[in-house]
Amino acid sequence: MIKMRMSKLYLPTLKEDPSEADVVSHKLMLRAGMMRKHSAGIYSYLPLGYKVIKKIEKITRKHMDNAQAQEVLLPIMQTSEIWKESKRWDKFGPLMVKFFDRKNREYCLGPTHEEVVTDLVKDEIRSYKDLPLNLYQIQTKVRDEIRPRFGVMRGREFIMKDAYSLDIDYEGLDKSYQAMYDAYEKIFAECGLEAVAVEADTGAMGGKDSHEFMVLADSGEDQIAFCDSCEYAANVERASAEKTNIDFEDDAEIEKIHTPDIKTIEDLEEFLAYPAARMIKAVAVVADGEAVAALVSGEDELNEVKLINYLKANELRAAEEEEFEELYQSTAGFIGPVNLKNVRIIADKRLKNISGAVVGANEKDYHLKNVKAGRDFEVEAYTDLRLVKEGERCSKCSDGHLNIKAGIEVGHIFKLGTKYSENMQADYLDENGKSQPIVMGSYGIGITRLVAAAIEQNNDEYGIIWPKSIAPYQIIILSLGNDEEIKVKSEEIYEDLKTAGYEVLLDDRKERAGVKFNDSELIGIPLRLTIGSRSLENGVVEAMIRENNKKLKIEIDNIEDKVAELIKEIS
RNA sequence: CGGAGCGUGGCGCAGUUUGGUAGCGCACCUGCUUUGGGAGCAGGGGGUCGAAGGUUCAAAUCCUUUCGCUCCGACCA
């Protein structure tokens, strides 16, 4: 058996917070010697960090295998052809690292593997008898993120478990999807994480249903709306709330008003003494090069994801200064829907019957009041475009209200449908000998992000507190002092516990007690056994449970039984 | 890409405003003491001050360019 003595372990811990980190998991992963940065969003994992990763991978494999998924390993280097076939070469665009080989053939480093899987199975799967199938892998993904952040939370290189289900029809997909949903719940639970499934947007993956698995943490980059009464939980990108339409029942004629240098809703509220609900906010965005004005109430915020989905656009960005003139014949701060030419106007459904509204006049320093929808302007469509807010009424049940919390997306599952199989001609023959596209799903878990999420959820002022299922070691033995008897006893206990099947780390370094105590807390090992002259005289060692930092004396004579008992109690 | 900030021994920082012999703490090496909560004393090693160019008798410090990193916004596991 391999001896893991701390004197030989490559574990460079840091006493001070590194200046490059300011999120707790990032700081602790560096301080605990789990990893080191190579470049922005790219890390080397050191022995301790890699051990945790392997633990999570093992748990993931177990539940994937139990769900009848089969592990494969797909190429990291992928030809541009398959991406062009699926029509995502441009969609993923700058997110992909692209390069040419010596024969001038173009490749990318795989940011995800839908294309490869579809390409792989399309020649092998000929009949409905070959389906269903679920293939998964655990592999490094490369995405040239716009902004890598928070250490391993948003890296440019990260380890992901990705699975792809292949079914004959949507009914089969529903089953495959549910199986993955269930497996995910088990995986996160076994990793000791509190994760919740929420309704999600499908983004660049496409498809219809989608759930994200979120670990609630203040440092999370996602906002999630939860109903306090029913089961409803959704990413705010998608969440909807019950809001009444706005109508001031005011038929007065439209009127132009001078509003010098009044550009924001707040300024207007003050200047006109009208509530924000009376204003219409027109947000100028350019979607795939096309000018769009999105209308929401002055008291609401535009939800860009909802807009992009309505438009079926690839890219959405705010209009630039010059574009207000060129594309909108308007001016920043005074844009409005009345007489807005050659611009697609999409409005939030709350504005459907609005009257008596105030809008920009498309002229510097002027607004229009008493504006009425339908009479003074037309829109292409009324649809849900607003971002939900804390406390609003739930759209699923009548009596609940929405709470908004931050979360870290650790898993995401998609019902892809036939988008890839159709674009890439992955067909099978059904019972009637008729060619049908394979119905697909895709399922991801960010393994390395999960490590960070686990730390975000389990830490204190002293360091990491690993849930025992993913801890790099379950037990750490501190051997204090230079006394020969202590060294011998420590070795003995160490060997016994190893033989009993535990993963044990022995701190045999020539360090002072304080250093050992602090390092053991920093690296978050669930159970610590301290062996020193003070306790040894009385035939006991001191145990400390990292979870609650409680200490107790245990007798050396029946140490194995006592350790088993303690480990069992630890979560 | 837009906005903000930072690059000085391995790590954390001071020094830059006002140009004039590169410093502090931690870590590291040697010796002695200490030894259950990040030790003490003594001695020691290590930095072309992110890079390039310029101004100057003289540049970490002033100017120009450039690269990297972090944070705030749009992307995602």
Backbone angles phi, psi at A555, to 5 degrees: -75, 140
Provide mean pLDDT across the span A286-308. 88
Backbone angles phi, psi at A178, to 5 degrees: -65, -40
Q: Who wins on pLDDT, A434 or A238?
A: A434
Q: Residue A140's pLDDT is what? A: 96
* Protein residue at shortest CA distance from C1' of B36: A513
Backbone angles phi, psi at A325, to 5 degrees: -80, -50
Q: Residue A76's pLDDT is what? A: 95
Provide mean pLDDT across the span A432-458. 97
Q: Residue A197's pLDDT is what? A: 95
Examine the pLDDT at A267 and tell me if it is beyond 90: no
Ranking A5-14, A300-309, A556-565 by mean pLDDT, the lowest is A300-309
Provide mean pLDDT across the span A382-407. 90
**Cα four-point dihedral sign A562, A564, A565, A566:** positive
Q: Tell me, in Å, how far CA of A39 is from C1' of B62?
A: 32
Q: Does the nearest atom of strand B lie within 7 Å of A333's Cβ?
A: no
Report the distance separating Cα A53 and Cα A466, nearest Å: 12
Q: Does the nearest atom of strand B lie within 7 Å of A452's Cβ?
A: no
> What 8-state DSSP symbol labels residue A12?
-
Q: Tell me, in Å, how far CA of A37 is from C1' of B58?
A: 39
Per-residue tokens: A72:
């494969």
Q: What is the pTM of this model?
A: 0.93
Give the max Cα distance, chain A. Answer: 97
Q: Residue A206's pLDDT is what? A: 63
* Secondary element (H or E) of residue A355: none
Q: Does the nearest atom of strand B lie within 7 Å of A222's Cβ?
A: yes
Distances (CA, A) of A209 to A44, A201, A223, A514: 35, 8, 19, 53
Per-residue tokens: A124:
């092998």
Which nucleotide comes closest to A235 if you measure CA to C1'?
A: B76
Q: Tell me, in Å, how far CA of A33 is from C1' of B58?
A: 44
Q: Tell me, in Å, how far CA of A35 is from C1' of B47?
A: 25
Examine the pLDDT at A205 and tell me if it is beyond 70: no
Provide mean pLDDT across the span A548-562. 95
Residue percentage of chain A with pLDDT more than 70: 99
Q: Which positions 528-567 on chain A have a beta carbon less than 7 angstroms from any atom of strand B?
A: 530-536, 541-542, 544, 551
Which nucleotide comes closest to A13 if you measure CA to C1'?
A: B11
Examine the pLDDT at A288 and tell me if it is beyond 60: yes
Examine the pLDDT at A181 and tell me if it is beyond 80: yes
3-class secondary-structure state, position A511: coil
Q: Tell me, in Å, how far CA of A265 is from C1' of B2?
A: 23
Give which of A352, A353, A361 is closest to A282, Cα–Cα: A361
Confidence class for position A104, pLDDT limits 50, 70, 90: very high
Q: Does the nearest atom of strand B lie within 7 Å of A113's Cβ?
A: no
Q: Tell me, in Å, how far CA of A512 is from C1' of B30?
A: 19
Confidence class for position A186, pLDDT limits 50, 70, 90: very high
Neighbours of A266 (CB within 10 A): 11
**Side chain identity, residue A379:** V
Q: Residue A501's pLDDT is what? A: 96
Distances (CA, A) of A387 to A41, A46, A114, A311, A478: 30, 42, 31, 17, 53
Q: Residue A512's pLDDT is what? A: 94
A161 within 8 A of A59, measured Cβ to Cβ: no
Confidence class for position A511, pLDDT limits 50, 70, 90: very high
Give which of A34, A37, A264 is closest to A148, Cα–Cα: A37
Which nucleotide comes closest to A26 if you measure CA to C1'?
A: B70
Burial class of residue A270 (count of CB atoms within 10 Å of its CB; 0-12, 13-18, 19+): exposed
Q: Does the nearest atom of strand B lie within 7 Å of A510's Cβ?
A: no
pLDDT in tens, A323-368: 788 888 888 788 899 998 888 999 999 999 899 999 999 988 899 9
**Side chain identity, residue A267:** D
What integer best gives the mean pLDDT of chain A? Answer: 92
A386 within 8 A of A170, measured Cβ to Cβ: no
Examine the pLDDT at A1 and tell me if it is beyond 60: no
Q: Residue A207's pLDDT is what? A: 67
3-class secondary-structure state, position A477: strand
Examine the pLDDT at A285 and tell me if it is beyond 90: no
Q: Does the nearest atom of strand B lie within 7 Å of A517's Cβ?
A: yes
Q: Does the nearest atom of strand B lie within 7 Å of A347's Cβ?
A: no
* Secondary element (H or E) of residue A215: strand A210-216
Q: Which positions 119-148 on chain A have a beta carbon less than 7 angstroms from any atom of strand B?
A: 143, 145-148
Q: Residue A291's pLDDT is what? A: 86
Q: What is the dihedral of CA A392, A396, A397, A400, to 10 degrees?
A: -30
Q: Residue A322's pLDDT is what? A: 74
Which nucleotide comes closest to A317 if you measure CA to C1'?
A: B74
Q: Which positions 409-448 on chain A have a beta carbon less than 7 angstroms from any atom of strand B?
A: 409-412, 444-446, 448
Q: Which residue in this structure is represented by tokens 């070959």? A: A130
Q: Is the peptide bond before A132 cis (omega within 30 degrees of 0)?
A: yes
Residue percentage of chain A with pLDDT more than 90: 74
Q: Tell me, in Å, how far CA of A314 is from C1' of B6?
A: 35
Report the distance separating Cα A376 and Cα A358, nearest Å: 12
Q: Residue A17's pLDDT is what? A: 93
Q: Tell me, in Å, how far CA of A39 is from C1' of B39?
A: 37
Confidence class for position A289, pLDDT limits 50, 70, 90: confident
Q: Which positions 149-208 on chain A have a beta carbon less than 7 angstroms from any atom of strand B?
A: 149-150, 153-155, 158, 160, 203-205
Provide mean pLDDT across the span A510-525. 96
Ranking A142-146, A200-204, A260-264, A384-388 by mean pLDDT, the lowest is A200-204
